[in-house]
Amino acid sequence: MIKKNSIKNNLISFKSKGLKGVIEPAADKSISHRALLFSSLALGKSKISNLLNSEDVLNMVKALKVLGIKITKNKNIYTVIGSGLTGFKIPNKHIDCGNSGTLARILIGAIGGSEIFVTLTGDSSLRKRPMNRVIKPLKKMGINFNSSNGLLPLIVHGNSEIMPIKYNSPISSAQVKTSILLAGLNARGTSEIIEPHTSRDHSENLLKYFGANIKYKSKISGKNKVLITGGNNLKCCNIDVPGDISSAAFIIVAASIIPGSNINIKNVGINYFRKGILEALEMMGAKIKVKNKFINNFNEPIADISVKYSKLKGITLGSRYSSRLIDEYPILAMAAATASGKSIFKGLSELRHKESDRFNGIIDGLVSCGIKVEAKNDDIIIYGKLDQVNGGVTIDCKYDHRVAMSFLILGGVSKKPIKVVGCKSISTSYPKFNSEVNSLGMNIKNDI
């Protein structure tokens, strides 16, 4: 168990010397959530190693226990005794999803096929985030909800008579896709989900590994179609969770922008639909090498990544990139701020619906650091200033872990230190962030 709030709320990041060393980043959050949830829907005993020990994932463990699933931990291995597709018990209390949109949205789909009523809620950030994106398709499948304005708290009324649907999703969202797929496991027939571009396909890979009747191609461009046929029980599995590229991204950018850096990052998941950050940084001139690549037993590519400092230049990224680096825009924006020339990032409307309004959080934070930034509809334009970021400011990250970590990394190259308020949020995805980046050479300290 992590020590609750072991990260202090106010941190201050000072200019640092080059980063050096070898590190393994925090385990993948998306895969950790899915490993726990899919194991609980399978029949029998699944074992999960290297599960992410963060608040979001531990809230998934607690949620599944409230639904009657037995989960134990011995050393670094979690054992989950799955009770089948409709095996959740009537809970005797509500489920608190904390800060995690993934937990809330994918759990709702999984609960939908059991004849139970479940109340879900979350923290003040999650209670503002849209749940209609899953409520709408799930209602068409026969699952009912009580919610005001499509927000948490809400009550899910499960139904044992789930109907298959064909759903054309207006957005590319792995959470929406996963929620429908999990409900579809209990439908009588085949459900079809179409999204504008392929979002991360960890659910497809893992559901196939668990024996679901699923068909998908995960196309690199254009519309993506996934088919799932209900009625197949899932079989228990062993899962070793790879490192999270979204957490590694902070270290990759830090090493790219802090002069003298030369680091190695081990065991990072480099799923095509997650690794837009590597491509974007390479286009900016970053020195990144991907080594020792292999494909694991549930079809996820994994590799080691080495990064050396280099002078970056601005780039333009079209909206087709946005779902492939949706979680990495905050840290990519820091790289753009320290690069020479203009960067344009297009099609970022989804950033407004994350743990905070990241669209405006990035702009306000960078402007306060002395960087010129413009917003045009859903695009952000950053006028980079090589080695010229002022800093000397306090950023309120609005309890958003990725905004917090991004500005702390920027503090490593700014003229004056950057203080960030709201850093306890970092425990949701990367509880060892400070100590690990400091061990490489960052200079982040607690502040009062």
- Residues noted as catalytic: 327
Closest CA to 236 of 210, 212, 213, 214: 210
Site membership for ligand S3P, residue 32 (CB under 6 A): no
Nearer Cβ to ligand S3P, position 46 or 172?
Answer: 172
> Does 30 contact ligand S3P by CB under 6 A?
yes
Q: Which stretch, 158-166, 174-182, 270-278, 361-369, contacts ligand S3P (CB under 6 A)?
A: 174-182
Contact between 357 and ligand S3P (CB under 6 A)?
no
Nearest CA to 39 out of 218, 236, 233 is that of: 236
Euclidean distance between CA atoms 306 and 292, whole angstroms: 11
Task: Considering the complex, state which of residue 181 and residue 410 has its C-beta at the smaller distance from ligand S3P.
Answer: 181
Please, which residues bridge with residue 308 across strands? 262, 287
By the 8 A CB rule, do 55 and 98 touch? yes
User: Per CB under 6 A, which of residues 385..444 are in contact with ligand S3P?
Assistant: none
**Contact pattern from residue 316 through residue 345 relative to ligand S3P, giving x for each residue in contact according to CB under 6 A and a dash for the rest:** ----------xx------------------
Tokens of 256: 């790219």
Q: Which of the ranges 55-63, 143-151, 172-180, 235-243 carries the binding residues for ligand S3P, by CB under 6 A?
A: 172-180
Closest CB 402 distance from ligand S3P, rounded Å: 8
Q: How far is the CB of 385 from ligand S3P (least distance, A)?
A: 29
Centre a 10 Å sphere on the Cβ of residue 315 and count the other Cβ atoms it contains: 22
Q: Residue 180 interacts with ligand S3P (CB under 6 A)?
A: no
Site size for ligand S3P (CB under 6 A)? 11
Q: List, in sequence order, every residue forming a beta bridge with 44; answer none if it has no partner.
A: 82
Near ligand S3P in 36-65, by CB under 6 A = none
- Full DSSP string of 210-252: TT-EEEE---SSS-EEEEEETTPPEEP-EEEPPBPHHHHHHHH
* CB closer to ligand S3P out of 30 and 59: 30
Figure out which of the listed residues 7, 107, 174, 403 binds ligand S3P, where binding follows CB under 6 A: 174
Q: HEC states along 55-120?
A: HHHHHHHHHHHHCCCEEEEECCEEEEEEECCCCCCCCCCCEECCCCHHHHHHHHHHHCCCCCEEEE
Of 59-67, 108-116, 117-125, 167-175, the segment contacting ligand S3P by CB under 6 A is 167-175
Strands (DSSP E) contained in 271-415 are 287-295, 301-308, 316-317, 341-345, 372-376, 379-384, 391-396
Q: Least distance to ligand S3P from the beta carbon of 199, Å?
A: 4
Q: Say how far apart CA 210 and CA 37 lie, in whole Å.
A: 11
Closest CB to ligand S3P among 261 and 323?
Answer: 323
Nearer to ligand S3P, 105 or 419 (CB): 105
For the bound state, the minimum distance from the C-beta of residue 174 to ligand S3P, rounded and expressed in Å, comes to 3
Q: Is 155:146 a contact under the CB 8 Å cutoff?
A: yes
With b for 16 or more beta-carbon neighbours within 10 A and e for fewer, the 213-226 pattern comes to ebebebeeeeebbb
Q: Of 85, 436, 88, 15, which Cα lies nearest the Cα of 259? A: 15
Distance of CA 169 to the CA centre of its chain: 20
Q: Mask: binding to ligand S3P, 95-124, rule CB under 6 A, as x and -? A: -------x----------------------
Q: Which one, 173 or 186, has the nearer CB to ligand S3P?
A: 173
**Which residue, 30 or 50, has its beta carbon nearer to ligand S3P?**
30
The 3-state DSSP class for residue 290 equals strand
Q: Is 173 in the site for ligand S3P (CB under 6 A)?
A: yes
Interface stretch with ligand S3P, choices 83-91, 173-181, 208-216, 356-364 (CB under 6 A): 173-181
CB of 324 to ligand S3P, least distance (A): 10
Sole window of 68-76, 160-168, 171-179, 220-228 interacting with ligand S3P (rule: CB under 6 A):
171-179
Q: Cβ 203 to ligand S3P, closest distance in Å?
A: 7
Residue closer to ligand S3P by CB (options 304, 327) is 327
Out of 50, 114, 159, 199, point to the residue binding ligand S3P (CB under 6 A): 199
C-alpha to C-alpha distance for 410 and 280, rounded to whole angstroms: 18
> Which residues lie near ligand S3P (CB under 6 A)?
30, 102, 173-175, 178, 199-200, 326-327, 350
